[in-house]
Amino acid sequence: MSTMPSASPIGASPSSTIALLQSQSLTTLVRRELERMILEGELSPGDKLNEAALAAQLSVSRGPVREAFRALQESGLVQTEKNRGVFVREIPMQEADETYAVRAALEQLVGQMLAVSISPAQIKELRQMLERMERAVSGRSPDNYHPLNLQFHDLLVQFTGNDKLLATYRRLVNELNLYRRDTLAQGSKVGGLTVSNGEHRRIVQAIASGNAEEAGRSMYEHVMASRARMHKAKGVAETALPDREKGHDPVKGQDKRRVAMREAAL
C-alpha cells in the first residue's frame, strides 16, 4: 500500500516534492491519498476506515486522518455512523439516478456556456485529450481510459471559469465515481469505450462550432447515456425515463432565449 510520499506527482524531483509539502497542509495530503484509495478501488463502498491503522499506514498522527475524514464526508465520499465509525459511502441506485439527473442538467449548462466563450487554445487542449482517450480505447483499457475521462469532463467545467459550478460538479462526480469502475469494465466488453469517446468527440465538435443548443444537448445526452451504461453494468432495467429521454424536450424552444441572455451578459 502506498505511503505519503506517493501522493506527489509521478516522476517529481525531490525539490518539487519538498515544495509540494511546503505548500500543502498534511491534512490535505492525507485527504488526497485517502480520496485516491477510494476512487481507485483500494477502499470499497461499505469499508470501515480505521483511523489508527490509516495513520500508521501513512506515517502520520491520527489528527490529520481525523480531519481528512471530515473533509471526505463533506465531499460525499465517506459517512460517519454514530457509535460505529467512518465508512466509505454506499450510494443507493435511486440516489445515483438522482445525481445523474442533476449532473446532466449541470453539464448541459456547461456546454451552452462554452459554446459562446471557449478559446481556440482550449479547443486544442480538448482535442489532445480526445486523442489520448482514443489510444486507451484502442488498447481496450478501462484503467487507462477512466482517469482521462474524468480529466476531460473536469476540464470542460474548469473552462467555464465558474468556481461554484466546478465545486458542485466535483462533489457530484465524487459520488458517482463509486460506481464508475463497474460501468467502464462493462463498457469494455460491449464497445462502451468506443461509444463513450464518440460522444466526447460530438461534444467538442458542437462546442467548437459555437452552437450552444447542440453543445448543451450533446452533453446532456452523454451523461444520460452514461447512466444507462451504469444500469447495464449493474443489471438494472431502464425504467421511468425522463421525458427528455423519450424524445420530448421540456425546455426546447427556451434554449435560444437563454443563450441570447448569456451572450448579452458576457
The cell for 99 is 445525481
CA–CA dist 155, 129 (Å, integer): 10
Per-residue pLDDT of the chain (266 residues; tens, 9 = 90+): 444 443 333 344 444 554 555 446 888 999 999 998 988 788 988 999 999 999 999 999 999 999 999 999 988 899 999 989 999 998 888 888 999 999 999 999 999 999 999 999 999 999 999 999 999 999 888 778 888 999 999 999 999 999 999 999 998 998 888 766 555 555 555 477 889 999 999 999 999 999 999 999 999 999 999 888 888 777 766 554 444 444 434 344 444 444 443 343 33
Task: Name the pTM for this structure.
Answer: 0.72
CA angle (128 as vertex; 123, 129 as ends), nearest 5 = 95
So what's the pLDDT on residue 67?
Answer: 93
Check residue 59 and report its DSSP letter.
Answer: T
Q: In the prediction, which pLDDT does 69 show?
A: 96
Distance in angstroms (rounded) separating the CA atoms of residues 212 and 114: 8
Query: Are 72 and 35 a contacting pair, CB within 8 Å?
Result: yes
Give the homologous superfamily in CATH for domain 93-265: GntR ligand-binding domain-like (1.20.120.530)
Measured distance CA(178)–CA(90) in Å, rounded: 8
Residue with the three cell numbers 469502475? 181
Rounded Cα distance between 249 and 246, Å, is 8
Would you say 117 and 208 are in contact if contact means Cβ atoms under 8 Å apart? Answer: no
- The answer to whether the beta carbons of residues 228 and 127 sit under 8 Å apart is no
What pLDDT was estimated at residue 144?
86
Q: What are phi and psi of 244, to 5 degrees?
A: -60, -35
Fold of 4-88: Arc Repressor Mutant, subunit A (1.10.10)
- Domain definitions of the chain by residue range: 4-88, 93-265
